[in-house]
Structures are given as structure tokens and as C-alpha cells.
């Protein structure tokens, strides 16, 4: 294994992580809600009673942030697919289904779960990083 990241990239990662932590921490401290994106999107698509308003607002915020980046930070948004579209479609379904079955995604288990010292969050994060690494390894061997 050979690590590859320059100092600028490390600083940007730390700054970006701090913004994410600020967003999730403020949402928790001010409203008691968890910034777990898969659960938020689920609430929006199924019209969850009592929670729909703030969840829809969070999703709109994510989208608005995307538009700000599109205008202000060239290269911040994804442009090309890393794999063939049928694989993206299969992967996307697994992302949505797996996150809801397991009760969290990168933000819910990774950021908020670990942030709340939750055993579920730590376990979920370790599992999806492991299967993610295994998938990329297999794709590299087979592709």
C-alpha cells in the first residue's frame, strides 16, 4: 500500500470535514435532529409525517450548496462516471437499500453515529469501509 495525498489536499479535507461537523453539530444542538442523509432522504420520499418539513429543507440545502459550488468552485462537482452506467445503477440501489436496512450511511453511522459514541455507528462504519474496500479490490482484479 502506498499513500498518496499532498499537504493542500489534507488541509482541504480537514476544512471540509470541519464544515460538515459544524453543520451536523449545529443541527443536533439547535433541533435535536441527526444529519443522517439516507434517513433524511427516506423521510422526504415517503412523506414522513411531522418530520417532512425539516428533512425537505435539509435536502434543499444540500442541493443549494451544490449550486453554490457549481458557480464558485470549479471542479468540486462530479462530472464523469467512475464505472459503466449499469454498474452505477446497481451500486446506487445497493447504497439506498443498504443504508436504510442498516439504519445509516456515511453521515448517519460515520459522522453522527461515531460522534455520539454509538456502537452501532462504529460497527456500521467499519463494515461499510471493509466491504467498500473489498469491492474496489475485486473490481480492480476483475476489471
Residue placing its CB nearer to other proteins in the complex, 49 or 73: 73
Instruction: Confirm if 121 and 113 have CB atoms less than 8 A apart.
Output: yes
Per CB under 8 A, contacts with other proteins among 43-62 are 45-46, 53-55, 57-62
Residue placing its CB nearer to other proteins in the complex, 32 or 49: 32
Residue placing its CB nearer to other proteins in the complex, 49 or 85: 85
Is 82 one of the binding residues for other proteins (CB under 8 A)?
Answer: yes
CB of 109 to other proteins, least distance (A): 6
Is 78 one of the binding residues for other proteins (CB under 8 A)?
Answer: yes
Judging by beta carbons within 10 Å of its beta carbon (0-12, 13-18, 19+), is residue 39 exposed, middle or buried?
Answer: buried
**C-alpha distance across the termini of the chain, in Å:** 19
DSSP secondary structure string for all residues of 59-75: HHHHHHHHHHHHHHSTT
Q: Among 47, 98, 142, 143, indicate the residue that binds other proteins (CB under 8 A).
A: 98
The count of other CB atoms within 10 Å of the CB of residue 55 is 20
Judging by beta carbons within 10 Å of its beta carbon (0-12, 13-18, 19+), is residue 111 exposed, middle or buried?
Answer: buried
Residue placing its CB nearer to other proteins in the complex, 46 or 49: 46
Size of the site for other proteins (CB under 8 A): 117
Residue 116 is classified by DSSP as T
Is 136 one of the binding residues for other proteins (CB under 8 A)?
Answer: yes
Q: Among 47, 108, 142, 143, indicate the residue that binds other proteins (CB under 8 A).
A: 108
Amino acid at each position: 500500500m502506498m499513500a498518496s495525498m499532498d499537504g493542500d489536499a489534507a488541509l482541504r479535507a480537514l476544512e471540509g470535514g470541519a464544515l460538515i461537523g459544524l453543520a451536523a453539530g449545529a443541527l443536533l444542538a439547535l433541533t435535536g435532529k441527526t444529519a443522517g442523509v439516507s434517513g433524511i432522504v427516506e423521510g422526504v420520499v415517503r412523506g414522513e409525517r411531522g418530520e417532512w418539513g425539516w428533512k425537505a429543507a435539509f435536502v434543499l440545502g444540500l442541493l443549494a450548496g451544490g449550486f453554490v459550488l457549481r458557480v464558485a468552485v470549479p471542479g468540486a462537482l462530479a462530472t464523469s462516471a467512475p464505472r459503466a452506467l449499469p454498474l452505477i445503477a446497481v451500486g446506487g440501489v445497493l447504497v439506498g437499500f443498504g443504508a436504510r436496512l442498516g439504519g445509516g450511511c456515511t453521515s448517519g453511522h460515520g459522522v453522527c453515529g461515531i460522534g455520539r459514541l454509538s456502537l452501532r455507528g462504529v460497527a456500521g462504519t467499519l463494515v461499510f469501509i471493509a466491504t467498500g474496500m473489498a469491492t474496489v479490490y475485486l473490481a480492480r482484479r476483475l476489471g
